[in-house]
Amino acid sequence: MYLKRLEIYGFKSFANKIEMNFEEGVTAVVGPNGSGKSNISDAIKWVLGEQSVKSLRGSKMEDVIFSGTSSKKPLSIAEVSLTLDNSSQILPVAYEEVTITRRMYRSGESEYYLNKSSCRLKDIRELFMDTGIGKEGYSVIGQGKIDEILSSKSEDRRQLFEEAAGIVKYKHRKHEAQKKLDNTKDNLTRLTDILQELE
C-alpha cells in the first residue's frame, strides 16, 4: 500500500486545485522557505481526520482555508483527497484504490467521503486502524515526534506498538462491546425496578 495521489483545493496556500501523483518509493519535496512544503504534510494529516488545530500550525480550524492574497480572494471551502493504492488489500475493502476526502466550510462543518460516498470520520478511523496511517498512527512523523516518542511515558509508547502489532481494532471493538453491555445492564436494572414496583 502506498500514497498514490493527493488533490488539494483551497487548503492553506493552495488556492488553485492541484494534483500530485506519487510513485512507489521515496519522494522528496523541495522548495524555498514558505513555499508550502509543510502545508502538504498538513493536508495529509487533515484529510486523515486531524482535529488538533495546534498540530496543523493554526489557531482555529478555519485557518486551513485559503485566506486570500493581494491578488486572490479568500475561498469559502477547503478540500483534500488522498488516494492510496490498495492492490495488496491491506485495507479491508474490495477496492484497488481507496480515496478519502475531507471538505470543510467556513462555518466549521466538515464532511468526509470514502470513494466519493459520504461517510463519518469514525468510518475513516476504523478503516485505518492498525495500519499505522490514522491520526494516531506513525505514518506522519513530524518535527520533534521521535523525541516525543522516546521521552513519552511507557503506556503512551505502548499505544504505538499496539498499532504496529495490529491489536488496536480489537481493543476498540472490545471497548464498544463493553459499552453496549453496560447499557444493557443498566436497562435490565431499570426493568427489574419497574417489575418490582408493579408486583
The residue ranges that bind ligand ATP (CB under 6 A) are 12-13, 31, 33-39, 63, 65-67
Element spanning 179, H or E: helix 168-198
Does the annotation flag 34 for ligand binding?
yes
Instruction: Tell me the chain's radius of gyration from C-alpha atoms.
Output: 21
Q: Which of 140, 77, 60, 64 is nearest to 111 (CA)?
A: 77
CA distances from 113 to 18, 45, 132, 199 (A): 19, 15, 20, 53
Measured CA to CA, the distance from residue 7 to residue 178 in angstroms comes to 39
Does the annotation flag 35 for ligand binding?
yes
Q: Which is nearer to ligand ATP, 78 or 168 (CB)?
A: 78
Q: Which is nearer to ligand ATP, 40 or 129 (CB)?
A: 40
Q: Which is nearer to ligand ATP, 28 or 94 (CB)?
A: 28
Q: How far is the CB of 100 from ligand ATP (least distance, A)?
A: 21
Does the annotation flag 86 for ligand binding?
no
Q: How far is the CB of 74 from ligand ATP (least distance, A)?
A: 8
Does the annotation flag 32 for ligand binding?
yes
**Do 38 and 57 form a contact (C-beta atoms < 8 A)?**
yes
Q: How far is the CB of 126 from ligand ATP (least distance, A)?
A: 30
Q: Which of 9, 138, 139 is nearest to 66 (CA)?
A: 9
Q: How far is the CB of 2 from ligand ATP (least distance, A)?
A: 23
Provide the annotated binding site for ATP.
32-39
Provide the annotated binding site.
32-39
